[in-house]
């Protein structure tokens, strides 16, 4: 009887050792240093919008950019593991509300219409609305009359084009991806593109046949406040807000602006 008890105790001890070993391996590389497993948060983006986000085809199609570096920094500061999902810009808010993603960073502008569907962080970058073109005779917004003008679906540029079209009739062409619009413009299928200054600069800096100029309405430049989008009442909004404020104070945001926008 004593022998059976000893065997039972040995088996129990061995079982505890096995369970302990399994528990250790489960944390793996996603642990945060104290044995806890990191929670994964999913970022939705549209990686056709350099310098904010684009696909680095030279390095295994990795998604890179200003938004990506900010998101990685915030996730690291908050102890999250970051996963990035790439899709068309026009479907990002729907994906957010369907809980397929936790937040959106895609050069997205905080607008009253979008605010009805989602919550936004404070703005982390402001940009101008511009016209990107290679046509020498397009020098101001009024010159877009009768021209083929490309806009990305679901963007504030689509809304701006519709507004301009009331007084400056143009042939508005709606596309899913900005980089495809740029190729169409180079091939002569578009006369101009509406986008933001930092994105246009990435093209004009590399291709001197292209130029950009600010869109003016009633004599005023059009600013855009770029923000992070969240589902309504998401706890992530306040968490992200604290880190974004910290990035402004410690110089990290300025460092990334210089890296991705000023030095592109």
Domain ranges across the chain:
39-124+227-262, 128-224
**Residue position matching structure tokens 């397009």:** 138
In tens, the pLDDT along 115-173 reads 999 999 999 999 999 999 999 999 999 999 999 999 999 999 999 999 999 999 999 99
Q: Report how far residue 81's alpha carbon sits from residue 77's, in angstroms, rounded to the nearest whole number.
A: 10
194: tokens are 């509406």
pLDDT, greater one: 12 or 77: 77
pLDDT band for position 35 (50/70/90)?
A: low
One fold for both 39-124+227-262 and 128-224? yes
Q: Report how far residue 235's alpha carbon sits from residue 232's, in angstroms, rounded to the nearest whole number.
A: 9
pLDDT, greater one: 31 or 104: 104
Closest CA to 46 of 33, 38, 37, 55: 55
Asked if CATH classification 3.40.50.300 holds for the domain at 39-124+227-262, the reply, yes or no, is no
Minimum mean pLDDT among 6-20, 132-146, 206-220, 223-237: which range?
Answer: 6-20
Q: Report the top-level CATH class of 128-224.
A: alpha beta
Minimum mean pLDDT among 26-35, 36-45, 79-88: which range?
Answer: 26-35
How far does the chain reach from its first CA to its final CA, in angstroms? 79
Helices (H) and strands (E) in the chain, counts: 9, 16
The predicted model gives 58-84 an average pLDDT of 97
Percentage of residues in the chain having pLDDT higher than 70: 86
């Amino acid at each position: 009887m004593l022998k059976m008890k000893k065997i039972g105790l040995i088996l129990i001890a061995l079982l505890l050792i096995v369970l302990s070993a399994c528990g250790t391996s489960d944390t793996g590389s996603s642990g945060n240093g104290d044995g806890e497993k990191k929670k994964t948060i999913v970022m939705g983006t549209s990686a056709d919008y350099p310098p904010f986000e684009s696909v680095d085809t030279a390095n295994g199609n990795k998604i890179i950019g200003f938004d990506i570096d900010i998101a990685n920094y915030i996730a690291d500061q908050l102890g999250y593991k970051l996963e990035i999902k790439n899709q068309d810009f026009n479907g990002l808010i729907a994906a957010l509300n369907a809980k397929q993603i936790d937040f959106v960073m895609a050069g997205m502008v905080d607008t009253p219409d979008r605010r009805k569907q989602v919550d936004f962080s404070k703005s982390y970058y402001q940009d101008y609305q511009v016209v990107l073109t290679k046509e020498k005779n397009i020098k101001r917004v009024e010159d877009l009359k009768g021209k083929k003008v490309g806009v990305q679906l679901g963007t504030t540029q689509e809304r701006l084009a519709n507004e301009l079209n009331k007084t400056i009739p143009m042939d508005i062409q709606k596309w899913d991806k900005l980089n495809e619009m740029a190729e169409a413009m180079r091939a002569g299928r578009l006369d101009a593109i509406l986008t933001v200054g930092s994105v246009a600069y990435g093209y004009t800096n590399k291709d001197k046949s292209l130029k950009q100029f600010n869109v003016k309405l009633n004599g005023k430049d059009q600013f855009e406040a770029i923000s992070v989008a969240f589902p309504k009442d998401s706890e992530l909004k306040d968490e992200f807000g604290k880190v974004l404020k910290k990035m402004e104070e410690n110089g990290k945001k300025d460092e990334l602006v210089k890296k991705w926008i000023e030095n592109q």
